[in-house]
Amino acid sequence: MSYILILIILWLLIYKGYKFVTGKPPNTPPAIPRIPIWGSYWFLLWGNYKFPYKTFDYYAKKYKTKVLSCHLGDYFVIVAQDSSTCKELLNKKEFDGRIVDSDYFKARAFGKQLGIFFVDGSYWQEQRRFALRHMRDFGFGRRQEKWENDVLHEVSKLIEIINTGAHNDEEKTVLRSGTYPTALFPDILFHITAGSIWAIISGEKIDRDDHEQLRRISRAAMTLQRNADTLGGAILQTPWLRHFGNIFGYKKFIEGNKEITDYIREYVDERVLHGMAAHREDDSFIDRYLRKIEDNRKRGSTSSFSRDQLLILLTDFMFPSLSALPSSIATCIKYMMHFPEVKKKVQDEIDSIVGPDRLPILEDRKMLPYTEATIRELLRYETSTPLGVPHVATENTLFCGYSVPANTIMLTNLAAMHHEPELWGDPYRFRPERFLNANGELYKDPSLPFSAGHRVCAGETFSRFLFFLIFSALMQNYDPLFVPGEPSALDDNHSGLIVTPKDAWIQLKPRA
């Protein structure tokens, strides 16, 4: 009898184990197996430890599906794998939610649900609407002559710095003299990308002598990005691990975020202390937000506007410009060294339309289709946010014929979509011509590097403008050259919240 009982118990344990490994909610997409604690994350790490998101491609092919599911710890997750499923997900209002109850994201926001990335519902709508309505007045995502002239001034200053050499010890950390100037990428770009968003937020420009401030917070943003995980990682799934120092990069993630927030706080506190927000003639977004807080206080109104919300809102708006944008431009420069035939076409086009006597301006963009196609191809080929920002199902619903329980995390595998053979033909070839028609004209861009739908990246237009102005100016003035011993391979990248290139010194040979 005892022998039979042991066999029954063993069978039950095996059955329970099998059901756990393969289990998923009814009528949901094919699932990656899971095991205790981190669920399917173990299998994603096994497939590609450095870039676990790439393992999704393996299981999509194995199961012959365009929609996958898995468990990341206790979170049930559905992943869209191609253009049609990604677009359906991004445009479905039931998937506009965010992960709002995680200690991982609250820790960077004073233990609260603040900012714009990791909030949803009416709070997100009110904050996003106010931010975009007022930031656009200062050039964010809208053609504005003053903003463009300020950027061109900074680009001109960058070229002057490169040509004349470092003026102080701090500049020597990003620029070396020699046969040709040698610059550290992406750091050499930090003062432009950070300064451009800071000017919109604060209404102030940072002088050359204070560029180190911008480089410091940009490096903090890189620390934040490189110590997180595009899937949330072990800390999101097992939050108690955050109490063990810098395990899985958590401490550096928080420190990087805090340095950005502290920089903003110091400025905001100074504005409040001197009462400048209410009296300043040269308006800024910060001034308008502070006045909104004061107006609500006087009316006794309860709203989502607060000083803490302002700090995290600005942190959310700033850190892509501090890290993602300069990283993408640096990657594009690296690709020009690997694909000299593309570089030559870009330079020939700029030479013929713009010439050598002025910098490219935004008005030139429509007359430089190959240059713009090259930027689009880079953003497609090297998807900096491979899985976008996680969405959450706000209610029980359907997706591609499958059931989706409320609170399911929804991911768009943008990296897979950007390498989908049915959409691109030869996706693993770097070929800007794919974005041009037979007449050499740009056609509608099917890629989604900034996501899409209701939660499309608010900074898309701003980023595309700035990318064009900086990249085209560098191509107009320099031939980038490899420096022996520096990271130069196309896959020399850091993993993290986004994919960023390894820091590398690049020679900039002035063009004749």
- In 3D space, the residue among 159, 192, 157 whose CA is nearest the CA of residue 476 turns out to be 159
- State how far the Cα of 17 lies from the Cα of 458, in Å rounded to an integer: 45
Tokens linked to 106: 């609250």
Kindly tell me the sign of the dihedral angle through the C-alpha atoms of 144, 145, 148, 154.
negative
Element (H, E) at 430: none
Write down how long the chain is: 512
Tokens linked to 488: 């130069």
The values of phi and psi at residue 391, to 5°, are: -100, 165
For helices 285-299 and 307-319, what crossing angle results, to 10°? 160
Element (H, E) at 501: strand 500-501
Contact 146, 139 (CB under 8 A): yes
- In 3D space, the residue among 211, 194, 190, 199 whose CA is nearest the CA of residue 147 turns out to be 199
- Check whether 400 is labelled as a binding-site residue: no
Contact 193, 218 (CB under 8 A): yes
What residue has token string 């909104």? 292
Strands 175-176 and 397-399 turn out to be unpaired
Contact 338, 490 (CB under 8 A): yes
> Using alpha carbons only, what angle is made at residue 283 by residues 281 and 286, rounded to the nearest 5 degrees?
135
**Residue 315 DSSP SS3:** helix
- State how far the Cα of 343 lies from the Cα of 346, in Å rounded to an integer: 5
- State how far the Cα of 95 lies from the Cα of 98, in Å rounded to an integer: 8
Q: Hey, how many other C-beta atoms are within 10 angstroms of the C-beta on 51?
A: 17
Element (H, E) at 87: helix 83-90
From the annotation, which residues make up the binding site for heme?
457
From the annotation, which residues make up the binding site?
457
